[in-house]
Structure 1
Amino acid sequence: MNRMIALWAHPRSRSTALERVFIERGDFEVFHEPFAYMAFDARSAIPHDHLNGDMPRDYEAIKAMLRTARQRSNVFHKDMCYHCVDALKADDAFLREQQHVFIIREPARAILSHHAIFAHMPVHAIGHQALHEIFCAVTRITGKIPYVINAEDLARHPEYTLRKLCEYLQLEFLPQALSWAPACPEQWKAWRCWHKDAENSTAIRPDPKETGADCLRLPPHLIGHYERHRPFYERMNQFTQQVQP
């Protein structure tokens, strides 16, 4: 039977870079944030490009689309938990159908990156709290701690991190999937303005702008966002697959 892998993320967590690896693999049908269509449409204030009017817009229809795709191929979908957190928490059956991977990023870095694109982001959209809620739901349902990747490990040690992930998922590690030609995959076009760095990349690398403490200085009006989400990051970070020194 074909498999379905869910990458659960919060915004600006480097999840799109990890998704690009699965696009390059070629052995999965990849969906980019299908549950976002529950939360946003062409009139939404959030920056977007060309939201696909043919995409299903409610939870059950999006889930049915993913299940149908699984009948023809392996499926990988990357999603933000805050888009669908309540429906997802109530859907044990759907959660049981998937292999789950979670990616987290230190919230100050994620908030500053988010704010640079969407200055009026609501506090819940930082996303760590909703991510933690789904992490707890998967733990409850499966009786096991889900797989957690820290985005900094992915950026600094991509090959090691991906090898360990493939081992966990029982996938063949494909080194050729760790590099690519700059391009905007079809899956990203609705949200292209969010993924310019990923579109212009050729591999997963650290951001040269993120060095030193200056990059973590939050404006006063974002301190509350940070304080709300930092505890959820810390709870999940204790379960990350640590890179060996």
Structure 2
Amino acid sequence: MKLAVWSGPRNLSTAMMYAFGNRSDFHVVDEPFYAAYLARTGFDHPMRQEILRAQPTDPERVVADLTGPVPDGRAHAYHKHMAQHMIADMPRDWIADVTNVFLIRHPARVVASFSAKYEHPTLPEIGFVQQAELFDRLMATGARPVVVDSADIRAAPEPMLRALCAAIGLSFDPAMLHWPAGGHAQDGVWAPVWYGAVHRSTGFAGAEGPLPALEGAAADLAQAALPAYEHLRAHRLRGPS
């Protein structure tokens, strides 16, 4: 299985990569289109030059790597994707040939967390609209991609991971619930900027508290992303009752 998990920034995506990466049958790939995205947009993200040197900037080469043999003799691959990287000229035809999961989080939480690391984010940079577009594209083909809300995973990690595995035809592995502190060998070169909290973790954090109070541009941004989030959330996976 090649598992493409579509997220936005600050959305439990690295912890989910670690959960699958702690299985002996999975190889993981961290944001494979990041360098291609930066090369095309010119965005000045933290560690831009290091990212451009560390990854292919040709998206067709990225696709060839993702759809080729799984490295290290593993049975499965977990591809952690940022939906905002799928700008207009990125290839998409390959997406129908992999198993797709959409990982969502309430926009108020995403905006509050992302804004703390990156000044003045815009709607295209937080990925909600792109997630909804990719989801609708797959649904139009008759596919039924899985949607998981990160809040549900944090509230009940084992039941939700069991439900996710069942939904994609995979056996559950208890190794997914914990991982070693300090990061993963396949972390992107940008990990020192973004992954501090998850590097200190050994499992999923507990349930989140009330939504953060946002003001001004941050509140407007979260509100603009809310329809896409609610569209996906209507399809979200429910854990065992």
Query: Structure 2 length normalisation: TM-score?
Result: 0.89
What is the 5 A alignment of 1:117-128?
117-128=117-128
Q: Larger helix proportion, structure 1 or 2?
A: 1
Alignment partner for residue 237 of structure 2, among 231, 237, 241? 241
Unmatched segments (≥5 aa) in structure 1: none
Deviation at 1:180, TM superposition (A): 1.9
Structure 2 residue runs of 5 or longer lacking an equivalent are none
Q: Does 1:78 align with 2:80?
A: yes
Encode CA deviations 1:170-190: one digit per residue, 9 max, x unaligned: 212110221122112132241
Structure 1 contact 100–146 (Cα < 8 Å) conserved: yes
Where 2:180 maps in the other structure, the secondary structure is: coil
Q: Equivalents in 2 of 1:170, 1:124: separation in Å?
A: 32
Deviation at 1:191, TM superposition (A): 1.9
Total equivalences in the alignment: 235
Q: 1:52 to 1:68 in 2, by over 3 A?
A: farther
The correspondence for 1:6, drawn from 4, 7, 12, is 4
- 2:8 and 2:69 map into 1 onto residues whose CA distance is 24
Paired residues of 1:38 and 1:84 also in contact (CA < 8 A): no
Q: Once the 2 structures are TM-superposed, how far is the Cα of residue 206 of structure 1 from its aligned partner? A: 2.3
**Deviation of residue 139 (structure 1)?**
0.9
Partner Cα separation in structure 1 for residue 44 and residue 175 of structure 2: 38
Amino acid at match of 1:13: N
1:33 matched to which residue of 2?
31
Percent identity over the alignment? 28
Contact 2:107–2:223 under 8 Å retained in 1: no
Counterpart contact for 1:29–1:69, Cα < 8 Å = no
Q: Which amino acid aligns with 1:211?
A: G
What is the aligned partner in structure 2 of residue 24 from structure 1? 22
- 1:190 is paired with a residue whose SS is coil
Alignment of 1:1-245 (within 5 A): 3-40=1-38, 44-48=43-47, 50-51=50-51, 53-70=53-70, 73=74, 74-87=76-89, 91-92=92-93, 94-141=94-141, 143-192=142-191, 193-206=193-206, 210-212=208-210, 215-244=211-240
Cα separation, 2, equivalents of 1:244 and 1:68: 35
* Deviation readout 1:139-186 (Å, 9 max, x if unpaired): 112x13310000100111110111011111221211022112211213
SS in 1 for 2:189: helix
Q: For 1:52 and 1:235, how far apart are their aligned partners in 2? A: 34
Supply the distance in 2 between the matched residues of 1:52 and 1:37 (Cα, whole angstroms). Answer: 5
Query: Separation in 2 of the partners of 1:58 and 1:226?
Result: 32
* RMSD of equivalent CA atoms: 2.1
